Structure 1
Amino acid sequence: MDIIDEIFKVCAKHNVKPTKHCIFVKIAKQKLYLFKEKSLIAEYPVSTSRNPPSCVEGSLGTPWGLHKIDGKIGDGLPLDTVFRARKPDGLLSEQTDEEKKKNLILGRIMRLRGLEEGLNSGGKFDTYSRYVYIHGTNQEDKIGTPNSHGCILIGSQNLKKIFDETEDGSIVYIEK
């Protein structure tokens, strides 16, 4: 089955209308695929969680299933902007050496909200309350290998393209 057909099938199962842009993340391949009106327009390497995929709060695993972008943060800011609690907190160059060793949230944030009750939405399975994002990282050399605490990490230039191309509310399907 084609990737976009899989997304549409899952959307139909959950009575969710597919959006103009759909994002598909394949954890096993550490890849993100961007579709526009059923056509693949871009493919990018990403990093998902170091821990096994998981929808459970506190697991630090990347949640799977049907999601949507619910909040886009950072439009117009420099791509080396560091975010803490979804607020800009200076540039990467302004951080201490100790901070630069951490896997920081950089550039843009696309916050995810799970759309499957009991899997990635509600209770201890809630992607949104876990603060799972698609975002940039200062550890771009590790993209393509598992390196996050549950988020989907992507290179800043690729992140900007996706951020600028997609609308808030766009469908994101993460395959376990």
Structure 2
Amino acid sequence: MTNKRVTSLLITIRTQTLALYSNDAIIKQYAISTGKNGIGSRQDSGCTPLGQHIIAQKIGGNEPSHAVFIGRVPTGEIYNASLGAQFPKRDWILSRILWLSGLEEGINKGCNDQGGCDTFDRYIYIHGTPDSEPMGAPYSHGCIRMRNDEIIELFELVQEGTPVTIVES
């Protein structure tokens, strides 16, 4: 990986990619998985919100790869196929969490005429997921899922406050 400082992230729904930028140059790109319910910011929609965001909180920096989080707290479990089979309905949040906060009032922050639309209050993260889950197609509950080794790498390259833009195409 390059020593260039990440200055922003661009998440593109159509291509299911997350790109790291240093100034105006892409320094790395990852395959991701966004909301299976499509694009949107309404509370409880299961959609991925568009627009300008920042990384509000980085969580889990000292946890091992595949560490399981519930409510942003490590459970002490390490994900494996057996644990996955034991809890097949869990929305697995693994390894690291980059908790996003929207910057656009009425779009991804606060409320609008449809109700709550706040990315932070909706608990929209960039996070690790089981390695068996597909990337490159929308399968999440609204978050941005990544491979565990890749979210760990990304976690080390960004800071709280790093700008994140989510676009359709």
Select 2:161's aligned residue among 145, 149, 169: 169
For residues 83 and 162 of structure 1, the distance between their equivalents in structure 2, rounded to whole angstroms, comes to 18
Give the 3 Å change call, closer, same or farther, for CA 53–104 of structure 1 in structure 2: same
Structure 2 Cα separation of the partners of residues 24 and 71 of structure 1: 18
CA contact (8 A) 1:140 1:155 kept: no
Instruction: Tell whether the 8 Å contact from 2:6 to 2:157 is kept in structure 1 after alignment.
Output: no
TM-score (norm 1): 0.84
Match for 1:91: what amino acid?
I
How many angstroms apart in 2 are the aligned matches of 1:140 and 1:44? 16
- Counterpart Cα distance in 2 of 1:164 and 1:68: 16
Match of 1:111 among 99, 103, 119: 99
Match of 2:151 among 154, 159, 173: 159
Provide the secondary structure at the position in 1 that maps to 2:150. Answer: helix
Over 3 Å counting, the alpha-carbon distance change for 1:37 and 1:140 in structure 2 is farther
TM-superposition CA deviations, 1:81-108 (whole Å, max 9, x none): 0000000012114836232564400000
In the alignment, is residue 95 of structure 1 matched against residue 83 of structure 2? yes
Residue 137 (structure 1) shift: 0.2
Residue 140 of structure 1 and its aligned partner are, at CA, apart by: 4.3
Instruction: Please tell me whether residue 70 in structure 1 is matched to residue 62 in structure 2.
Output: no
Aligned to 2:129: 137
Count of residues paired in the alignment: 158
Whether the 8 Å CA contact 2:6–2:20 is kept in 1: the answer is no
Percentage of pairs with the same residue? 35
Please give the alpha-carbon distance, in whole angstroms, between the structure 2 residues aligned to 1:131 and 1:22.
20
Give the letter aligned to residue 85 of structure 1. G
Contact 1:136 1:159 in 2 (8 A): yes
1:74-85 equivalent positions in 2, closer than 5 A: 74-85=60-71
Q: Hey, which of these two has a bigger chunk of strand by percent?
A: 2
Quote the Cα distance in structure 2 between the aligned partners of 1:133 and 1:50.
15
Q: Which one has a larger percent helix, Structure 1 or Structure 2?
A: 1
Say if 2:38 and 2:138, in contact at 8 Å, map to a contact too.
no
Residue matched to 1:50: 36
Q: TM-score, normalised by structure 2?
A: 0.88
Letter in 2 for 1:92: Y
